[in-house]
Structure 1
């Protein structure tokens, strides 16, 4: 009996020990999984803190060769360069992301790069994603947007297939173009790219041998002529052209906050540089109201992020207290009956201004190696000092400044009027009227509402409030902004 009891006790003890060991192992595996998941989630959503090491430098033997001359790099090489593949480093290729929001003048800024003969330019490719995933809110789409940017910067356009299905999305630029239409669907082509009718690469040789103008000619593309002369080409042909250019530029307005790009800024293969464009929020609101129906869906997507916006680590959401004197100036703001579209646009602008504030504070904490990859630009400075700002931007992108392009930017800011009835088309504008137009078109109540929502980023960007302008105003209604670069 004693031996049986001893035997049973030993087995029970061993079973308990085995169970304890298995439980401990399970806990260890669970902790390891959670840590790994947290790391992967941080990489997926962006580790929104500047702390971290700069991208690793290449081995000493690989860093010795200087880059090829900019005028001759890659673009003039033979088709052998196509063998490099979408993920290759392409021998010092630079990538520029133009970070902006709707109605800030970003199309004009992007067009300056579209005109440059050494640049491969894409106009708002993330439009496809937002249309396909509507009504997803802006914040939830940031990770997918960043991954799409990474693929496009590697000249891999197959990512567009994820967001294009029959019937293809209509190009909203099409109604403003004679014979405009919209293509898309499973068999993607150059005619599936958003804004393709004004793309200098798609609308010139070699992709379009019958194009009326050469790629090197500076001047706006006639969209109707491009549609007539340039039949659709396979995306692989466009990818091959993309790999030939020393600089690739993407302009988009759907990135909610700068921190989402941090994993790409740390990627040594991309050599990513970011230009962030700002504009007086009152002028932005005035311009958005002119195109309120066209911007309604995307304003709703932005507005849906208001109550669930993730905060960058170490940067809590600011609940602004009005500065001295501003409370009295804004005391006349009262709720009023608004048009439905105006209500959504106003709410979206408030979300955008808070995102601007976080970007501005976020960028001020940047270490030196990241400050060199990021610069800010105000629309007002660009149109009032077009040649000087163009040269600064091209130096930032390590590009030459052709005289024809300097003449182009000057002429585009010396037009006869503020705008036409086609707000999504690029045309020559009267820069000074474009800056001051909001004063005549917005009511005093509308101005106060915008200032109440956006006064903090306005202060950091040196846009004076209405009651302060008499003492602070310079030409264009702004005061100088201290640039990073």
Structure 2
């Protein structure tokens, strides 16, 4: 009897130990998950300014600048987006411009000015700001939906002193612009924005009033929009505010490459354009998760998507010949596989240095998968290839059969079986020269 009791006690002891180990392991996993969530939330509000990364610190500095009359006691940028109140109604547009002007000057203290590099003689801030008749560095990404442009756009927005025109053709809905009747007004709008002219942009501004994401990716503008929404969509504020910035970036996902010629021809803009391409199997798989894409022919129809890719390839050949220093094509997969080296190449092409703020962005956004489908916190080496696991071979084959010419042009290899997808490298050499 005593031996039976002893054996039972032994089993119970081992069971308790096992439960304890499982409990401790579960707690560690929860803490790790919470840590990742905290990290995600923290980085999501970063200003990517080496000496001022915290949003509440930004608010504190604004509070000091505008004076105590500007904000209610205890207000928080993250939790109280500040609507017009007696506390901030006395702030003028010029007050905001003065504050932002000082922030940009602080951001640019350690900036490496071109000083003759990249065909740019700028040696100081005033050489680059439209407000002082300077010529800003204007960088454009042309691509299509779910092709890595949010990642590349955020890399550019990590640069100090950058003003981000995020998807400026959002108000055109889920279409691709390939020619008439939309090309004329689309090019007009892009030129207006690149010149910081928000007049004759009524549709764009009205769209922004009910779709915050039009401006919210422009972090330096959006902070002021949240504090002073009475000015946010006013051309009399937006124009002068935009002209404070020495760098301007823009990502466009609704305009095909052949239509950027008028922008490249306009010497007053002095833009440089990157055409960003992604494997159609990856972009189409990613679009399945977006509520706005299914049922939209320009977005979810493989033959249409692949025809656009091939026309972009043909346009890229011509544009590379005509504008070798101001047009370039890259693949999202190449950027993701070698983010640091490719980012250096991209910035050099745009005429920008590899700034410490960009390196900090890459350090925090290329190691772990955090957030939803629109997050730019990704394991960059695996992010472009999720389609190999998320699509069935039948789905892959449908896309490939619609994309024979385009995939060959851009250097994407066909998969031949379900088994091959388990360990598949789809990248082949390609050239647009």
TM-score interval w.r.t. the shorter chain? 0.5 to 0.7
8 Å CA contact 2:161, 2:247 repeated in 1: yes
- Deviation string 1:62-114 (CA, Å, 9 cap, x unpaired) is xxx97322666445xxxxx64x7xxxxx4333322210100111111111111
8 Å CA contact 1:277, 1:378 repeated in 2: yes
Hey, what does 1:126 align to over in structure 2?
A: 169
8 Å CA contact 2:160, 2:357 repeated in 1: no
Pair 236,476 (structure 1): closer, same or farther in 2 beyond 3 Å: farther
Pair 403,481 (structure 1): closer, same or farther in 2 beyond 3 Å: farther
8 Å CA contact 2:143, 2:252 repeated in 1: yes
* 1:115 maps onto 2:173 in alignment: no
The offset of 1:457, in angstroms, is 1.8
* 1:346 maps onto 2:300 in alignment: yes
* 1:465 maps onto 2:418 in alignment: no
Hey, what does 2:383 align to over in structure 1?
A: 434
Hey, what does 2:62 align to over in structure 1?
A: none
8 Å CA contact 1:384, 1:432 repeated in 2: yes
* 1:423 maps onto 2:377 in alignment: no
Name the SS of the counterpart of 1:450 in structure 2.
Answer: helix
The offset of 1:168, in angstroms, is 6.6
Pair 455,373 (structure 1): closer, same or farther in 2 beyond 3 Å: same
Hey, what does 1:144 align to over in structure 2?
A: 185
8 Å CA contact 1:387, 1:410 repeated in 2: no
Query: 1:90-105 counterparts in 2 under 5 A?
Result: 90-105=133-148
Hey, what does 1:170 align to over in structure 2?
A: 210
The offset of 1:460, in angstroms, is 1.7
Name the SS of the counterpart of 2:219 in structure 1.
Answer: coil
- Deviation string 1:337-389 (CA, Å, 9 cap, x unpaired) is xxxxxxxx432x42222122122123223464512211112111111111111
8 Å CA contact 1:98, 1:251 repeated in 2: yes
* 1:401 maps onto 2:368 in alignment: no
Name the SS of the counterpart of 1:98 in structure 2.
Answer: strand
Hey, what does 1:202 align to over in structure 2?
A: 221
TM-score (structure 2 length as normaliser): 0.64
Query: 1:17-166 counterparts in 2 under 5 A?
Result: 67-69=121-123, 73-75=127-129, 82=131, 90-128=133-171, 130-131=172-173, 139=179, 140-165=181-206
Match of 2:395 among 441, 446, 450: 446
Distance in 2 of aligned mates of 1:367 and 1:109 = 20
Pair 443,481 (structure 1): closer, same or farther in 2 beyond 3 Å: same
Where does structure 2 lack aligned partners over 5 or more consecutive residues? 1-118
Pair 164,393 (structure 1): closer, same or farther in 2 beyond 3 Å: same
Where does structure 1 lack aligned partners over 5 or more consecutive residues? 1-64, 76-80, 85-89, 172-181, 183-193, 209-225, 303-344
8 Å CA contact 2:164, 2:217 repeated in 1: no
Hey, what does 1:335 align to over in structure 2?
A: none
Distance in 2 of aligned mates of 1:162 and 1:441 = 38
Pair 440,367 (structure 1): closer, same or farther in 2 beyond 3 Å: closer
> CA RMSD, aligned part only?
3.3
- Deviation string 1:198-231 (CA, Å, 9 cap, x unpaired) is 3222145xxx3xxxxxxxxxxxxxxxxx84x454
Match of 2:292 among 270, 273, 294: 294
- Deviation string 1:304-328 (CA, Å, 9 cap, x unpaired) is xxxxxxxxxxxxxxxxxxxxxxxxx
Hey, what does 1:254 align to over in structure 2?
A: 254
8 Å CA contact 1:196, 1:202 repeated in 2: yes
Distance in 2 of aligned mates of 1:271 and 1:428 = 32
8 Å CA contact 1:70, 1:246 repeated in 2: no
Hey, what does 1:341 align to over in structure 2?
A: none
Hey, what does 1:309 align to over in structure 2?
A: none
Hey, what does 2:284 align to over in structure 1?
A: 285
- Deviation string 1:27-76 (CA, Å, 9 cap, x unpaired) is xxxxxxxxxxxxxxxxxxxxxxxxxxxxxxxxxxxxxx97322666445x
Distance in 2 of aligned mates of 1:441 and 1:483 = 30
8 Å CA contact 1:74, 1:244 repeated in 2: no
Pair 461,141 (structure 1): closer, same or farther in 2 beyond 3 Å: same
8 Å CA contact 1:100, 1:106 repeated in 2: yes
Name the SS of the counterpart of 1:104 in structure 2.
Answer: coil
Name the SS of the counterpart of 2:123 in structure 1.
Answer: coil
Pair 168,104 (structure 1): closer, same or farther in 2 beyond 3 Å: closer
